[in-house]
Amino acid sequence: MNSVIKIEKRWTASNILSVSRIFLLIPIVILILKPGNQYRLTVLALMILGSATDFLDGMLARALNQVTDFGKLLDPLSDKICIVTASIALVIAGDVPVWYAVIVAARDLIILAGSAVIITQRKVVVQSVWTGKWTVAFIAAYLILATLRIDSLALAKNFFLYLSALFVFISLAVYTRVYQKHMSKGSFGEKNGIA
């Protein structure tokens, strides 16, 4: 198993798309923090564009046979940066409770720390779990609904608030078990990204 990521394979088309999501944060945060609601549809459009790059980067990597360990790390790292940054901006704008941003950020930091330990000690990227993927989807749904500031969607917004918060803890528990299991073994199975 080769643990060295070749430099020439780092900046593939899919990895560039992953990085583009981070740059989309600049206008998203600026517009979220502007007073009033006139820019919220623009923010929604940018969020949808960011979500599209998340879908396309994986598809491109597989289609062009450019799946790399670097990409498996970069893609979920970009997702985490985007989600945490958007959550903090929405807290500042008064659309998301502070406790929610704290648990989302804490989850991501714990997962990244656990992944870093296993990469350092085992030289592999940990396999994703389905609870992690669902958690990211539920968080994204809540942040989009919070961004829109539409009163008629308050019930749906609250539903995804508590559903995603529940899955934050469920996914953390699952990842903790996965990390413990992997650290007790000498080798791991199929390598994938962390959601």
Q: CB atoms < 10 A from the CB of 161, how many? A: 20
Identify the structural domains of the chain with CATH numbers, from first to last: 10-183 (1.20.120.1760)
Helix (H) / strand (E) element for 3: namely none
How much is the pTM? 0.81
CB-based contacts of 41, cutoff 8 Å, min separation 6: none
Burial of 172 (0-12, 13-18, 19+ CB in 10 A): buried
pLDDT for the residue numbered 138 = 94
More confident residue, 27 or 79: 27
pLDDT for the residue numbered 78 = 86
pLDDT for the residue numbered 160 = 98
pLDDT for the residue numbered 124 = 66
More confident residue, 6 or 61: 61
Output the average pLDDT for the chain.
83
Q: Which of 49, 48, 50, 62 is nearest to 13 (CA)?
A: 62
pLDDT for the residue numbered 4 = 40
Which pLDDT tens digit goes with each residue over 53-103? 877 777 776 777 767 767 777 777 888 899 999 999 999 999 999 999 999
Which range has the worst mean pLDDT, 13-22, 29-38, 63-72? 63-72
Q: Which of 192, 194, 195 is nearest to 68 (CA)?
A: 192
Q: What are phi and psi of 33, to 5 degrees?
A: -80, -5
CB-based contacts of 46, cutoff 8 Å, min separation 6: 24, 27, 28, 31
Checking if the pLDDT of 192 tops 70, the result is: no
pLDDT for the residue numbered 75 = 78
pLDDT band at 39 (very low <50, low <70, confident <90, very high): very high
pLDDT for the residue numbered 185 = 67
CB-based contacts of 104, cutoff 8 Å, min separation 6: 83, 84, 87, 139, 168
User: Alpha helices of the chain — where are they, by DSSP H?
Assistant: 13-32, 40-63, 69-92, 98-122, 130-148, 154-183
| Amino acid found at 195 | A
The counts of H helices and E strands in the chain are 6, 0
Q: Which of 178, 146, 149 is nearest to 162 (CA)?
A: 146
Checking if the pLDDT of 3 tops 50, the result is: no
Q: For residues 12 and 132, what is the distance between their CA atoms, to the nearest angstrom?
A: 25
Which pLDDT tens digit goes with each residue over 117-175? 877 776 666 666 788 889 988 999 999 999 999 999 999 999 999 999 999 999 999 98
